[in-house]
Structure 1
Amino acid sequence: MIHDYEQKLLQLIDDNIDSATDDELFAGGYLRGHISLAVADCEQQGVTDIAEMQLKVKQSLLDAKSELSPFDYSLVCQMWQKISL
């Protein structure tokens, strides 16, 4: 189930590539890594709950906040909110 959700999220990112701005392309690429890491962590821990996977992505983004400028962090968080609904 989490794997299917991951594929859905990645497809949503990919579907916007043709019309995405440079900022959206950056945010999507950055998010892809955090989504995949969260899914791998869930699989390793035997977690099957999508809500828990979403929390792992949010925590991963929070943990990496210092890697990004405030503007870039905002872009990534906005995209996560948009696709994770």
Structure 2
Amino acid sequence: MQQTENYINAMADYFDQSVATSSDDQLFAAGYLRGHIDLAVGTLQLQEQAFSVDTLQQQVAQSLQQAISAGELNDADQALVVDIWQHLQQLPC
């Protein structure tokens, strides 16, 4: 569980640090993605079971895919969200 907590903290740090240097579009994409991550973490915590980084990533990916399929993002925003998500998946735990 410590690895998962470290990963969640690393993502939060990334979002916090990017505020100063991001464009408005990047901030929107980061905030949108952070909402999906927070939702996934909350949902997994409600299950009251330890969860892994892989489980969290799968939950976020599924949530994003549903949102994209529902047309929640235009192409430019979708590209930004996917780019940030790909970067976050590579963060060390």
TM, length-normalised to structure 1: 0.89
**What root-mean-square deviation, in Å, do the aligned CA atoms of Structure 1 and Structure 2 show?**
1.3
State the percentage of identical aligned residues: 38
In structure 2, the residue matched to 1:34 is: 36
Which is helix-richer, 1 or 2? 1
Structure 2: gaps spanning 5 or more residues: none
> Normalization by structure 2: what TM-score?
0.82
Q: Which residue does 1:74 correspond to in 2? A: 79
Structure 1: where are the runs of 5+ without partners? none
Q: Secondary structure at the match of 2:51?
A: coil
Q: How far 1:22 moved relative to its partner?
A: 1.5
Give the greater-gyration-radius structure (CA): 2
Rounded to whole Å, the distance in 2 between the matches of 1:27 and 1:3 is 23
Instruction: Figure out how many residues of one structure are paired with residues of the other and give that number.
Output: 85
